[in-house]
Structure 1
Amino acid sequence: MILLVLGIALWVAAHLFKRVAPERRAAMGDKGKGAVAVALLVALVLIVLGYRGAPFINVWTPPAFMVHINNLLMLVAVFVYGMSATTGRLRGKMRHPQLTAVKIWAVAHLLVNGDLASIILFGSMLAWAVAEVIVINRSEAWVRPEPGPAKKDILLVVITLVMFAVITGIHAWLGVWPFPR
């Protein structure tokens, strides 16, 4: 559990660094991007190792139907995340599509995982995404991008379905079957 908590703390610190200490981050120049990237990679490794190695401590038992809600929310999360890269009509409909996707992802996983490590991981990622949005909104004005062609949104739907299949495949490969049996 210690690795999990350390990984989450490093993840949050690395992401908030440029918002909390912008002068210090700017003084690092381009090398700072590399340092933050390394910190995020280390954080991700710690989170994965900590989560996989954490003891199973059941806090609550989610009802079986939550798997369906989780899968629907995950499909929405993948789509919303993709909105950050689209150049279609949906471009600019949402200020923080990646952070919104993290929030949806976290809620979806909290609905189907009732163990302590999951609550710590997904709960803290939800709290981090909420805090990140608040900090960004207070520190930066948003210039809404112009929408592009609708055909790019159709491409986003196709990419969403492919990515959802890849993500469920990875879950199955890791031994977590994401569909009801």
Structure 2
Amino acid sequence: MSMASVVFVCTGNICRSVTAERVLEHHLRINGTEAVVDSAGISDEEAGNPIDPRQARVLAAAGYRTDDHAARQITVDWLAERDLAVAMTARHYRALQRLIEQIPAEAAPELRMLREFDPRLAPDGSEDGSESESVGRGQGRGISGAAEPGAPAPDVPDPWYGELKDFEETLETIEVSVPGITDHLHALAEKSA
């Protein structure tokens, strides 16, 4: 079986996407699975910066690696080398769609949103199978609720404007989604074998 590859993408690559990268790496290492796992941002605003100190604190407390990270911006060439691109929000999803359109179909990665793998979501995108309103905090971020029109799943809220508990919620959302991503990577590797 060949090794699958995934890139997680958020805005600046200092909170959500790098958290997903580190959680999945940890999960794969524990399970003895190999895959290429990395992360990027749609913006170059944070390029070269380490993990946000608040996110690093939450990751370290949960036993995840926080060293050796410099934020990077996603590129068309990078996407063409991945089997799967996972967006954190509908905005990131749309930005990745525009980049993927520049890649020949046979080289284009599959594009998904992280919360498509969240087992807490019902088919309508609400949590726990019930309709839920977006709970606005900080800069209009919603913790739950239905997906934005045209998006396959709800956003992973940006903790950057929030408090430590927002970073913890981001980690929790990513952790519950990682088993589904792992299964999907196995399926992609088998398909390309």
- TM-score bin (small chain): under 0.3
Higher strand share: 2
Which has the greater radius of gyration? 1
